[in-house]
A and B are shown apart, each in its own frame.
Chain A
Amino acid sequence: MDWELLLGIGRFVLATTLLLLLTVPTAFVIIQMELKVIAGMNLRIGPNRIGPSGLFQSTIHGFKVLAKEDTVPDQADRSTFTLAPWMVYMAAAMSMLVMPFAPGAIAADFNIGIVYFFAVLGLSVVGLLVAGWASYNKYSLLGGLRSAAQMVSYEIPLTLSIVGAVVLAGTLSFSELIAWQREHGWLLIWQPIGLGIFYVASLAEINRTPFDMVEADSELVAGPFTEYSGMRFGFFFFAEYVALFIMSGILASLFFGGYLAPWPFPAQLDGFVGTLWGILWFFLKTYIFVFVAVWLRATLPRVRVDQLMGVAWKLLLPLALVNLFVTAIAVVAFDL
C-alpha cells in the first residue's frame, strides 16, 4: 500500500471538508455584516434583537430557511431542479480549493491554480441556467439567460485582467504568485489597470451591486431563483455570499499580497505561527474587500442591462487587452 497516496487522499478529504464547513460561518458573517453595515449607512441601527446587538440575526435567518417548506413546481424537471442549487454552491465551494489562506494552508496548491479557479468559478453559470430552465417558468428562464449573458460577458475581461499579472510573475500558481509579490512588491503597484478591471468584472461576475440585475430584488422577481424556496433557495443565497468572500480573497491574493503582511517584518515566520499569521492577514484583507463591496451596495444604484453589456465589451475588454499587450511588451523590453 502506498502510504504517501493514502496520506494525500486523507489530507484532501480533510481540506475539502474544512473548506465546506468554512463556507457556512463565512456566509453568516457576511450576511450579518451586510445587514449591519447597510443599516448603519442608512442611519438605521439594523437588527439588534437576536443575540448581543443582533449578532445572530443572520444565523437565525439561515436556520429559518431550513424550517421552510421546500416546494417544487408541478411541471419542473425535478432532478435538475434539485441539482441546480448544488451546482451553484459547489462551483463556489470548489473554487476555494486553490485559495491561499496562508503559507502551507492551501487545499490543493496546483501549478495551474489560477486557471483552475476561473474555470471552476464559471461553472456557476451552468447552475443558474439549469435553475432557470428546470423551474418551468418563463421568468426563471429569462432570468437564467440574463445571468448567463452577464456572467459570460464579464468572465472574459475578468480572466484577461489577470493575464497581465500572470505574464509579469511568470506563474499560474497562487502560492508562487504571492511569493513573487513578496520579492517585487504587491501587484497593485505593477498592475493598477488590471486591478481596476478585475474589481469591476468580479463584482459583475458574482452579481453584486451595482451589477445585480440577475436578482434585482427591488424590481424583478428573483431571476432564476423565482421558483426556489426553503433550503434550495438558501443554497443560492449562501453561494452568492461565499462567492463574494472568494472574490475578495482572490482579489487580496492576486493584487494585495494575499497572506503577506503589509510590511516585510517578520519576513519569514515558519511553521504553525507563520500559518496563523498568514491566516490573520488573509482574512483581514479579504474582509476589507467584503466591506467595500457592502459599502458599494449601500451607495450605488443598479446599472441598466445595456450599460452593463456596454461596459463589459466596449470598455473593460479593450482595456484588458491593452493592459495585457503593454505588460507583455514591458516584460520583453525590460526583461522583467
Chain B
Amino acid sequence: MPFPGSGIAKGMATTFRNFFAPKVTRQYPEVRPEIPDRWRGRLDLIYDPFGEHKCEVCFQCAQVCPVEAIDMSGFDSEGNRIRFGMPEIYDERKDANAYRRAGLPARPMRNPARWDEEIDTPFVDGVVDGYGGRPEALIAIFRAIGDRYGYLPERALRRVSDRMSIHWAQVFGAAGLGGFRLLPTEGHLVTVCDCASCRFAGGDRLLNALEEELGIRAGETTADGRFSLEARPDVGAGAISPAMRIDTLVYGPLTVDKALHIVGQRRATASAASRA
C-alpha cells in the first residue's frame, strides 16, 4: 500500500511543475495560428439530423480537388456497396492527372490491362469520337454505351474520361447523377417509396396496385426476371409524394393509373429490347 497522502503529494508536484511550465493558451485575435497557404482543412463527410450521410456522390468535390485525391463510393439502388470512383491507387492516377491539368491528352494507365479487358474499347472510342469528344455530349455518350451494355461499366467510363481528356470525376459524377445504371442488374427494379410522406399521400395504394399488376409481393422478382418490386423509405423524394423509383429514375407525384402506365411502358421497352 502506498504511503497515505503520496497521491496528493504527486498531484501537488504535478500542478506545481505546471505552474512554471510554458503556457498553452493562444491569444487568439492577436496571435493567429500559422496556416500554410494550401491548407484546406481536413476532409470529412457530414451527416444530416437522421444520421445519414449528406454526401450525394455528386463528385463536385472530386472535380475541384487539384490533385485528384478524392475518391468515393456509394450504395446503388439495391443497397449494394459499389465504387463510383477510381479503384486505382493515387500513385497510378497522378500521371494522368498531371497530363490533364496540363491540357494534354492523358496517357494510358501504367497497367491498362486492368482496365481494358471485358469492354469493347474500339466501340467506346468510336462513340466518343462520333460526338467529337465534346463534354456536353456526355449524356448522349452514356446513353449509347448504356444501350450497348444495359448499364455503364466502370471501365467504359474510365475509357471515356481518358479519351475525352476530361476529369474522371466529371464523368463519374455525370453518370451517377444522370440516373444511369452503374451496375449490371437483371431487369428493372421498381421501388415504391415507403416514407411517411409518401404513405400519407397514397403510397400504399400504389404498392398494392403494382403488386397486383406484376403479380408479385414487395421484395420479390417476377418469374421472367424482368421486374423486381420493393418498398423502401429512402427514395428521398418527399416533395413529389407519392413517389416511385425505377432503377435510378424517380417519378412522382403519382396516381395509381400513372404508375401503372409507366411500368407498362417499361415492360413494352424491355420486351422490345429483348426482341432486338
Query: Which A positions have Cβ atoms within 8 angstroms of B?
Result: 37, 40-45, 295-296, 298-300
Contact = CB atoms under 8 A, between A and B. Distances in A.
A299 B21 contact: no
Given A43-B24, A44-B24, A45-B25, A37 B12 contact: no
A45 B26 CA distance: 9
Interface of B: 8, 11-12, 14-16, 18-25, 27
A40 B25 contact: no
A44 B19 contact: no
Contacts of B25: 43-45
23 contacts: A40-B19, A40-B23, A41-B15, A41-B18, A42-B18, A43-B18, A43-B25, A44-B23, A44-B24, A44-B25, A45-B23, A45-B25, A45-B27, A295-B15, A295-B16, A296-B12, A298-B15, A299-B8, A299-B12, A299-B14, A299-B15, A300-B8, A300-B11
A213 to B, nearest CB: 18
Contacts of A296: 12
Nearest to A45: B25
A258 B116 CA distance: 93
A43 B23 contact: yes
Q: Give 5 closest A-B pairs by Cβ, nearest first.
A: A41-B15, A45-B25, A299-B11, A299-B15, A40-B19
Given A295-B12, A299-B8, 17 more contacts: A40-B19, A40-B20, A41-B16, A41-B18, A42-B18, A43-B18, A43-B21, A43-B24, A43-B25, A44-B24, A45-B23, A45-B25, A295-B16, A298-B15, A299-B11, A299-B14, A300-B11
A295 B8 CA distance: 11
B208 to A, nearest CB: 58
A98 to B, nearest CB: 31
Contacts of A42: 18
Contacts of B12: 295-296, 299
B23 to A, nearest CB: 5
A46 to B, nearest CB: 8
Nearest to B11: A299
Contacts of B11: 299-300
Contacts of B16: 41, 295
Nearest to A298: B15
B10 to A, nearest CB: 9
Contact of B18 (A40, A45, A300): A40
Contact of A41 (B8, B19, B24): B19
B41 to A, nearest CB: 26
Nearest to A43: B24
Contacts of B23: 40, 43-45
A93 to B, nearest CB: 31
B14 to A, nearest CB: 7
Most buried by A among B8, B18, B20: B18
B5 to A, nearest CB: 10
Contacts of B18: 40-43
A45 B8 CA distance: 24
A44 B11 CA distance: 17
Contacts of A40: 18-20, 23
Contacts of B14: 299
A296 B14 CA distance: 11
B15 to A, nearest CB: 4
Contacts of A300: 8, 11
A108 B8 CA distance: 39
A41 B17 CA distance: 8
A222 B218 CA distance: 61
A300 B24 CA distance: 22
A44 B22 CA distance: 9
A173 B141 CA distance: 104
Contacts of A295: 12, 15-16, 19
A298 B16 CA distance: 9
A241 to B, nearest CB: 20
A44 B25 CA distance: 5
Contacts of A43: 18, 21-25
Contacts of A37: 19
A296 B15 CA distance: 9
Contacts of A45: 23, 25, 27
Most buried by B among A37, A40, A42, A299: A299
A277 B190 CA distance: 96
Contacts of B22: 43
Nearest to B12: A299
Contacts of A298: 15
Nearest to B8: A300
